[in-house]
Amino acid sequence: MDLAATLGSRLLVVYDGYCGLCHHTVQWLLARDRHDRLRFAPSSSPAVAALLARHGFPPALPDAPPGEGPGTILVLRAAATPAEQLFTRSTAVAFVLAELPRPWPIVARLLRLVPCPLRDLGYRLIARSRYRIWGRLTTCPLPTPEQRSRFL
């Protein structure tokens, strides 16, 4: 799959498809991405295996137990180009929010004012209890027919 052609100038959001919080976050983003700036892929997707390897993350297998894989949200910008960048944790969240309509770019700018180590601490605290609070899905949910074009 040619990621550069598939994504164009869009961001790719790689998430844990077995995480209840991640699933709800993707649904929240889909509802707010009115300008079609985002694409999504679960970390267990074969389409992102090369991306994970290229950036030093262990590949997650499609039949891996929930929670296997990068263990964080990943956001890819300028895929498969010399300018490719991969963002993780709170920086990834800020990049995604910046692509949404108002007021979310303002929230992203405010988030970036917080020093990265402090932002990432908050991210890790939430991530540590995400399965306990939001649950662990037994399968990665399939997108609806209307959403399918937004997923790799």
What is the Cα–Cα distance from 120 to 97, expressed in whole angstroms?
16
Where do the structural domains in the chain lie, given as residue ranges?
Answer: 3-136
> Per-residue pLDDT tens for 42-99?
888 887 888 888 888 776 544 444 444 456 789 999 888 888 899 999 999 999 999 9
pLDDT at residue 113 is higher than 90: yes
The first and second tokens of residue 127, run together, are: 């991530």
Model pTM score: 0.86
